[in-house]
Amino acid sequence: MQAHFLDWLLALLVSLYPLAALLRVRWSVAIGMAGLALAAGLGSATLQWLTDLAPGRWFSPHPASPVVALIVTFIGFLVLRFSRNYLAGEPRLGVFQRRVLWLLGGVVLVVTTNHALMLLAGWVGISLALHSLLLFYPERPRAQLAAHKKFLLARLAELSLAIALLLLYLHHGSPWLSDIFSTADALSLQQQVAIILIAVAALIKCAQLPVHGWLIQVVEAPTPVSALLHAGVINLGGYLLILAAPLLAVSAAAQWLVLVVAGLTVVVATLAMCLQTSVKERLAWSTSAQMGLMLLECALGLHALALLHLAAHSCYKAHGFLAAADNMNKVLAQKLAGPPRWRYRVLPVLALSLGLWLLGVTPVALALLALTLVMVGPLGGLLIAVAYLAQKTLFETLLPSPFAPSWPETLWVCVIALLLLAGFMAQGDPKRVRFRHWLHAGLFLDHWATRLTLAVWPAPIEQLALLSAAKRNKESWS
């Protein structure tokens, strides 16, 4: 009886967003249905965590599925509530609502399904819904360019994923993800090619270099779109690698592909982020770097840490975009207030850290606690540290690490850390103006990616730019 109830909850969760979009409901009803989806996600996650219940064949039994579904429904509920006020007076508000609902429906389908065809359908649906949201203001040239590049890259990722799923289906004779992503001691040629293609799809989805430019340019889209994209869509590449972890664990080629691309993305995107002046562009570069870190964790077999990273980044980025204006006011208030009185923060940190050390808490946990207490204050830092340790314990229980990193992989992580340190030191040197110029532009990698994209599929970007400039001139003279 309880198993059937779990299946009904998951079916309700998957169907609510498309149903609201098809019925073209009012905003209050749409927000209510999003709240019901959040309740269904919370209920299904609780049943799977606290009982031995397993969902039916059509729903994913993977431990990461209820975690990501709960995050997506929570952020979707917040974005819908925020959008109603943010876009008040917008004549196409109903169109925006339906596109967001279709996007959320696609994400929920991807993270809850256990069928390869449904996974691919949801993946394609997400890309198409996101494309329509990026073009919500089609007269903006940068939005057109970002959507143009994203459309081509999304088709490449979908093709890679489709071929990979087909190869795995032919190898196993089963369309169920729990079968095709099962543990293996050695991989056949079909499986090797499939996991490499899955890694390619994940890297493209997570906007890793050199296909990151569209993510930086989507700042032209409405703020709720940016929040939903950065918090609930772009991290699906990491979720895909967590699903395919049994295959990734025995494929050195796929591991090193992710390690090299994601590692270099972490270095370049982090250094570029520090040089941006726009809040939204800093957040966009930060997302690219954070996704690189999450993919690194997946390639190193640290799947519990990757899932924790996914959850924390989603909530942080949703808050970062939806509260961007308030954050600017807080920064100004902090500058006016002057430097903090460190003695009121350091003394409680020392006392609490000493007490926990006497209780046998690990040095890593103590260091984390000390840093958070100093940075955000005793009470806030304590809450953050407790939340981190609680989630880390939960996710390590759900996703034990299937393998330990080898010494070359550990050495590569050290190289990445050294490159980051060298980059930060070079940024502070006043003689390195040219170096900062290149880093600010992300080594101009997107410049070449844009040229290649427009060569493959030309778009009237220049005409749109001229029309937009003419429109602005007309408005300034009127």
The tens-digit pLDDT sequence of the chain (478 residues) is 555 788 888 888 899 999 998 988 888 888 999 999 989 988 888 888 888 778 888 898 888 899 999 999 999 999 999 988 888 888 888 889 999 999 999 999 999 999 999 999 999 999 999 988 888 887 777 777 778 888 888 999 999 999 999 999 999 999 999 899 887 777 889 999 999 999 999 999 998 988 888 888 777 778 888 888 888 889 999 999 999 999 998 889 999 999 999 999 998 888 888 887 777 788 888 888 889 989 998 998 888 888 888 888 888 888 878 876 665 555 555 555 555 554 444 544 554 454 444 444 455 454 544 544 444 444 454 555 556 566 666 666 666 666 667 778 888 888 888 888 777 777 666 666 666 667 766 677 777 777 777 777 676 655 554 444 444 444 444 4
- Whether 427 is covered by a domain: the verdict is no
Question: Which residue, 301, 325, 349, sits at the end of a domain?
Answer: 325
**Nearest alpha carbon to residue 464 among 454, 476, 449:** 454
Residues 354 and 242 in one domain: no
Residues 400 and 271 in one domain: no
Per-residue exposure over 117-136, b if at least 16 CB sit within 10 Å of its own CB, e if not: ebbbebbbbbbebbbbbbbb
pLDDT score, position 73: 93
Say if CB 169 and CB 128 are below 8 A apart. no
Residues 388 and 345 in one domain: yes
How many domains in the chain?
2
Residue 46 identity: T
pLDDT score, position 435: 67
pLDDT score, position 281: 80
Residue 105, Cα to own-chain centre: how many angstroms? Answer: 17
pLDDT score, position 347: 46
Say if CB 369 and CB 381 are below 8 A apart. yes
What is residue 26's DSSP assignment?
Answer: -
Q: How many CB atoms lie within 10 A of CB 94?
A: 14
What distance in Å separates the CA atoms of residue 364 and residue 241, rounded to the nearest whole number?
27
Residues 288 and 400 in one domain: no
Q: How many CB atoms lie within 10 A of CB 329?
A: 10
Q: Return the structure tokens found at 187.
A: 């991989």
For 129-134, the CB contacts below 8 A with 24+ separation are: 129/99, 129/100, 129/102, 129/103, 130/103, 130/154, 130/229, 130/233, 132/99, 133/96, 133/99, 133/100, 133/103, 133/221, 133/222, 133/225, 134/218, 134/221, 134/225
Answer positive or negative: Cα dihedral of 131, 134, 137, 141.
negative
Quote the domain boundaries for residue 389: 340-409
pLDDT score, position 230: 82
Question: Which residue, 380, 409, 438, sits at the end of a domain?
Answer: 409
Residues 157 and 38 in one domain: yes
User: Global pTM?
Assistant: 0.82
Residue 75 identity: I
- Whether 463 is covered by a domain: the verdict is no
